[in-house]
Amino acid sequence: MGILDRFRQRQWPGEQEIEDIYVSMYQTLRGMSQSEARATVRQMIQQAKKEAEEQGTAQIPPGFGDRILAEQSTNDRFRTMLQAKRAEGVRDDDMRWWWNLVELERQLMMIEDNMTRLAAFTQYREEGLTSDEAAARVRRAFVIYGSPSDTTHSSGDDRPLPCELRDRVNVWLQRVAEDGGAELKAQADAASSFNALIRRKIRDGSL
């Protein structure tokens, strides 16, 4: 067994608690048995660890958001990072929320997002849409997070949104849904993507 394999197998900060939460969630929301949910989540955790290693984020400690904000005036890397994030509408509270999570939480959120979008894409294809049509519907139906500099599949306001915005966007979406989500759905359907709609809402100050 190699060093990386041993590193993946050892428990990371918060791993057991996170695993138990996801197992319970999958049992409740997806109707999985406990053993099936446990196996699925363990596989996701191993993937999350691999992604973190490849991205060079595996060693980021919990509470890193506080450090970024505290050292922004003396750390050029942090200052540059914050300038780019703020240009996308990210606030200090957003930075604190995302980067104070443990790394495993961040990675699992992204994996869960990818799984959900892939399932939707597959469903749209089965309904008869072309690959391009299915991808366009996914972009209008889901907020897509990642690096805003990634223009592989989109450009302009359709680009991925910073991950730091996730909690703020979720709170806003929940509030809108409670007031009746028909108008939001209509706006999303009319936009080039859900991301474009979110960026417009950030610019006009409603989010």
What residue segments make up the domains of the chain, in order of their start? 60-101
* Residue 10: predicted pLDDT: 77
pLDDT digits (tens, 9 = 90+) for 42-64: 999 999 999 999 999 999 988 99
pLDDT digits (tens, 9 = 90+) for 110-141: 999 999 999 999 999 999 999 999 999 999 99
pLDDT digits (tens, 9 = 90+) for 87-113: 999 999 999 999 999 999 999 999 999
**Angle at the Cα of 198 from the Cα atoms of 123 and 190, rounded to 5 degrees:** 60
Amino acid at 137: R
